[in-house]
Amino acid sequence: MRIRTAGVVAAVALALAASGCGGSDNNDEPAAKESTKASGGELVIWADDKRAAALQPFAEKFGTENGVTVKVEAVSKDLQTNFVTASQQSSGPDVVVGAHDWIGNMVQNGAIEPVQLAAEQKSAFNETAVKAVTFNGQVYGVPYAMENLALIRNTELAPEAPKTIEDLVAAGKKLKAEKKASEILCLQSGQNGDAYHIYPLYTSAGGYLFGTAANGDYDPKDLGVGKPESIAAFQKIAKLGEKGEGALKRSITGENSIATFTGKKCAFLVSGPWAITDAKKAGIKYDISPVPSFAGGKEAQPFVGVQAFYVAAKGKNKALAQEFVANHVTTTDLAVALYNAEPRPPALTAALDQVKGSDPDLTKFQEAGKNGQVLPAIPAMAAIWDPFGKAEAAIIGGADPAKTITAAGKTISEQIK
């Protein structure tokens, strides 16, 4: 499951002073080839539980080859927050593994530095994945997996993929009337909303979060929340809410949305690759397709997220960390091992080619995200999650869309300033 709000907001709420970042300014130079054997010492890697286990054998091999000790430490909660805090205290790891949208906050707090990748190395990755880990013109991480939302449907209950949201709602209501389902749609909201999961519908209805500057980067000065486009978008979303069609409900949460789907209580689930393991365990016959758009609306665009490896700016063994991230993480074997630990499409093209033949779901998720938007990694994004999510939940519950999203836009704007 993808949970992001708490960690991002908490990390920024530390209000740590922004500082400069070390490292080369030229990411097209060949990766560092310093003698890591001579440096000896210890390399410490922080990752979440699943990735830590998958990394262990590769870390041990790297340690043996380079004559160093490598420790992979699992941080199961608030990894970004703990890393930024530890970095300020010079007690953090040398390498950290996490989502690309942490980059703006980590750079702002001087916690990571650019990764030295040769142009040939960068070209081995999915272009969107490289774009996601590029911030202020520099590559700050080595991507290893990609993710985006799609529509996962129970094909026994819904044989055909709906062409529009309206078609989906009609099919879901019919299943409810026939007592074959108890929910029209499983799209998580909860009492605090979920900006990540509602985003495909928000974009289809014409809303946006940030405009883009001339170089294509997100522009924090062009905030879309609270503007007429966002009001119109939430007026459409409101019609799907509890006082409208009942397709969007606050009772569908991050804790129960997948379980409701795997329990055959709804035919349609908006989720990501992380939901597939549970669907398979439950014996659900499923298919994957893009999240449908509103009839006559724009294309629904999910966020595209990337998981990556970062070099800690205040790590005790930076040369070794650069060597590991630039020249060890970029191997196909490691990318496939991380895929096996949690099946998300590998960012390394050769690894994707190796596994997609045995896993058609990967291609379907990629198809669902091919026109998605890279999740903003700018620091201003941290101001979005909480006010936007709470406004979404209130509107789903019946609050006035115009007043609610306008107020959220004002709150976000004040936080960004």
Q: 87-98, pLDDT tens digit by residue?
A: 999 999 999 999
Whole-prediction pTM:
0.84
Domain ranges of the chain: 5-147+305-374, 150-301+384-416
Query: Is there a common fold for 5-147+305-374 and 150-301+384-416?
Result: yes
Contact at 8 Å (CB) between 4 and 101?
A: yes
Amino acid at 300: A
Q: How many angstroms from the chain centroid is the CA of residue 6? A: 14
What is the pLDDT, as a whole number, of residue 26? 40
CA–CA separation, 19 vs 216, rounded Å? 24
pLDDT digits 0-9 by tens, 74-133: 998 899 999 999 999 999 999 999 999 999 999 999 999 999 899 999 999 999 999 999
**Fold (CATH) for 5-147+305-374:** D-Maltodextrin-Binding Protein; domain 2 (3.40.190)
What is the pLDDT, as a whole number, of residue 214? 86
The CATH code belonging to domain 150-301+384-416 is 3.40.190.10
Tally Cβ neighbours within 10 Å of residue 104: 23
Q: pLDDT band for position 341 (50/70/90)?
A: confident
Q: Give 135 or 11, the one with higher predicted confidence.
A: 135
Q: pLDDT band for position 40 (50/70/90)?
A: low
Q: pLDDT band for position 10 (50/70/90)?
A: very low
Contact at 8 Å (CB) between 345 and 365?
A: yes
Contact at 8 Å (CB) between 305 and 147?
A: yes
Residue 8 has pLDDT above 80, yes or no: no
The angle subtended at Cα 291 by Cα 285 and Cα 293, nearest 5°, is 140
Residue 179 has pLDDT above 80, yes or no: yes
Place of tokens 């062009």: 222
CA–CA separation, 335 vs 383, rounded Å? 32
CA–CA separation, 269 vs 150, rounded Å? 8
CA–CA separation, 407 vs 391, rounded Å? 8
Helices (H), 211-298: 228-239, 257-262, 276-281
Q: Is 190 left (phi over 0), alpha (psi -120 to 50) or beta?
A: left
What is the pLDDT, as a whole number, of residue 215? 82
Helix (H) or strand (E) holding 71: strand 69-74
Tally Cβ neighbours within 10 Å of residue 352: 23
Contact at 8 Å (CB) between 104 and 377?
A: yes
What is the pLDDT, as a whole number, of residue 197? 98
